[in-house]
Structure 1
């Protein structure tokens, strides 16, 4: 069978399968074909008249069938591109998403202001955010923490494959394993922020991802509020806290940051124009108030 014919049949299958979850059947089919053949998507356009048969055709059809059942493309490929890095993924972590690149971009802007220093990534998962920051700023030391042991194993594997050495990953329930004296110029997190009753939990790739990395108490705000409260203890004066959240959570997250004493509070929009990243800066005067030493 010709490659273009196999792709056409796969697109038809993915566009009309029972669960109706595949929003990008053409892209999905091309990514799976390119993966099986070890070629680029551009190559597929150029050499679509070539034959695919035997083991390769069987592998392709098997992947298409799994995608028909809704299994995420990233799992089928075994990796996901994020901020120019190819990251291994697994069912134990969230699949890195393009909108989270906004968090990295905003963090890099703050890093440029504060110079070299220490960064903390909470709930690091596959290590996507930590590794993107470490790769962009080799003069920074980045620490990624996650409560899931398999996530830490995966993040360390990604760091090794990418040969990124200015990063370390440790098991921890958010701040719990940190030395109380540890301080960071920048703390970032993409924590669980979805309400357990949210209908989106039953749709798309999210159906397959770990609930522990998605759902939080207090209508999805529980972990965000915990991070806002506790991060103050671990930020240096003038340090920044950046948090990813749901597109309808910008207002309460900003309010929580202001109430906790952060300054320069604001929210940035994602690729779709939705409020996605809220941030605040912790000044020395704020630290004195937290410690009860202010006048």
Structure 2
């Protein structure tokens, strides 16, 4: 951008064109979000003031945000938050960015958790806490445990729980999968499920910026899923339920493993908005 006067409209058009040339998937939306953040307003505010000339100081706030997006940094990390299930969650590079696919898990989990009775819920690999916090907020009688191996991720999750006023009903634990000696009625997880050989094929902004530990599911992508199904058997009684997010083409392999190697039996497989088998639902026998 030169020293000439630029309006909000012109800066948005410039950033949109720049992002589009670089192959960014949602160039206009990204431009609006970043310019709005720099100016301290929302996207509606941009459109109400499109023809306003920007001060040099304001342009100076916009430039570094645009530069970070040019380098492939996800918008959610630049903004510091992501919307999920109608709530705003703080995100940092220590946690996976919540995605709409995981809302499919929430929808079906809520159908398993009573509105009017206590329920013990476990969220394995909580990351930002999006699943655990959403369940606690939507089901006030539920008590929730959220586990993760990353203390940095747990710090983010605890902060989000405070923000959404459910911290008193969520126990955060740094542990691999499941704490020994605990019992649960419903278990939820969005585990790492990307096959190791596929990591390099991921979008640059995912591969180079999001935590690999939250993505890498081993050689076939199912190492953590299989370990989870085995580890949760002692933590559940017959009738307990588990819902796990999986990758495209993995659902049948998970069902086969559950039937052949564990005491979990199939209930259903649920599709996401793109009609991809996304959530495997099992019941303890």
Name 1:142's counterpart in structure 2: 144
Q: Is structure 2 residue 90 aligned with structure 1 residue 85?
A: no
C-alpha distance in structure 2 between counterparts of 1:35 and 1:203, whole Å: 23
After superposing the two structures, state which structure 1 stretch, 131-140 or 158-167, moved more: 158-167
C-alpha displacement at 1:114, in angstroms?
A: 8.9
Q: Which residue pairs with 2:18 in the alignment?
A: 13
**CA positional deviation for 1:187:** 0.5
Match of 1:292 in 2: none
Deviation at 1:113, TM superposition (A): 7.9
1:226-252 CA-to-partner distances (Å, cap 9, x unmatched) read: 111221211233111010110110110
Q: Which residue of 1 aligns with 2:170?
A: 167
SS of aligned partner of 1:233: coil
CA contact (8 A) 1:156 1:168 kept: no
Secondary structure at the aligned position of 2:171 is classed as strand
Task: Kindly indicate whether the alpha-carbon contact (under 8 Å) linking 1:254 and 1:265 is maintained by their aligned counterparts in 2.
Answer: no
CA RMSD of aligned residues (A): 1.6
Deviates more, 1:22-31 or 1:54-63: 54-63
- Conserved 8 A contact 2:190-2:244: yes
* Residue among 112, 115, 118 paired with 2:114: 112
1:183 to partner: Cα distance: 0.8
Q: Unmatched 5+ residue regions in structure 2?
A: 1-5
1:255 lines up with 2:256 in the alignment: yes
**Alpha carbons of structure 1 residues 115 and 280: separation in structure 2 relative to 1, 3 Å:** farther
Q: Does 2:96 correspond to 1:121? A: no
Native 8 Å contact 2:114 2:139 kept in 1: no
Alpha-carbon distance between aligned partners in 1 of 2:102 and 2:57, rounded to the nearest angstrom:
37
So what's the TM-score if we normalise by structure 1?
A: 0.89
* Shift in CA distance, 38/236, structure 1 to aligned 2, threshold 3 Å: farther
Q: Which residue of 2 aligns with 1:290?
A: none
Q: Deviations over 1:12-36 (max 9, x none)?
A: 111113xx3x100000001111212
Q: Name the stretch that deviates more: 35-44 or 191-200.
A: 35-44
| 1:100-146 superposed Cα distances (whole Å, 9 cap, x missing partner) | 11111110011138942111001101111101111111111111100
Q: Is the 8 A contact 1:118 1:184 kept in 2?
A: yes
Among candidates 93, 96, 99, match of residue 98 of structure 2: 96
Inter-partner Cα distance in structure 1 for 2:155 and 2:205: 26
Shift of 1:200: 2.8
Q: Name the residue aligned to 1:192.
A: 192
SS in 1 for 2:18: helix
**In 1, Cα distance between equivalents of 2:203 and 2:52:** 39
Change (3 A) 1:43 1:113: closer
Unaligned runs of 5+ in 1: 287-295
C-alpha deviation, 1:196, in angstroms: 1.0
Partner of 2:67: 65
Closer/same/farther in 2, CA of residues 179 and 219 from structure 1, 3 Å limit: closer
Asked if the contact 2:197–2:219 (Cα under 8 Å) also holds between the matched residues in 1, the reply is no
Structure 1 residues 131 and 215: alpha-carbon distance in aligned structure 2, compared to 1, 3 A threshold:
same
- Separation of aligned partners in 1, 2:196 and 2:255: 22
Q: Who is 2:7 aligned against?
A: 2
Match of 2:56 in 1: 54
Query: Deviation at 1:202?
Result: 5.2
Deviations 1:174-207 (A, max 9, x none): 12xx232x11111011111111110433533332
